[in-house]
Amino acid sequence: MKALKRSAALLLALLLLTALTACAGRKTPTPEEFSEKAEAAGFPLRDLLADPLLETTLTIALIYQDAETGTEIDYTVAPDAAGVQSLYARLLSQFSGAGLEEKRIDSSEYSRFFAEGNETVTLLWRNGATLIFITGKDTEALRGFIDALGV
- CATH code, domain with 54: 3.40.1000
Is position 11 within any domain?
no
Rounded CA-CA distance 8/68 in Å is 58
Is position 64 within any domain?
yes
For 116, the domain range is 28-149
Is position 13 within any domain?
no
Chain centroid to CA 83: how far? 16
Is position 4 within any domain?
no
Whether the per-residue pLDDT at 111 is higher than 90: the answer is yes
Q: Report which of residues 142 and 55 the model is more confident about.
A: 142
Is position 139 within any domain?
yes
Average pLDDT, the chain: 82
Question: H or E element: which one contains 115?
Answer: strand 110-117
- Give the per-residue pLDDT at 1: 53
Average pLDDT over residues 90-98: 85
Confidence of residue 31 (pLDDT cuts 50, 70, 90): very high
Is position 8 within any domain?
no
- Give the per-residue pLDDT at 34: 93
Is position 96 within any domain?
yes
pLDDT tens, 59-90? 889 999 999 888 999 999 999 998 899 899 99
Whether the per-residue pLDDT at 123 is higher than 80: the answer is yes
Residues ≥6 apart with Cβ < 8 Å to 96: 102, 104, 113, 115
Average pLDDT over residues 26-34: 91
- Give the per-residue pLDDT at 10: 40
Task: Name the domain count of the chain.
Answer: 1
Is position 46 within any domain?
yes
- Give the per-residue pLDDT at 63: 93
Average pLDDT over residues 30-54: 89
- Give the per-residue pLDDT at 25: 52
Rounded CA-CA distance 69/76 in Å is 22
Residues ≥6 apart with Cβ < 8 Å to 43: 64, 71, 73, 141, 145
Confidence of residue 7 (pLDDT cuts 50, 70, 90): very low
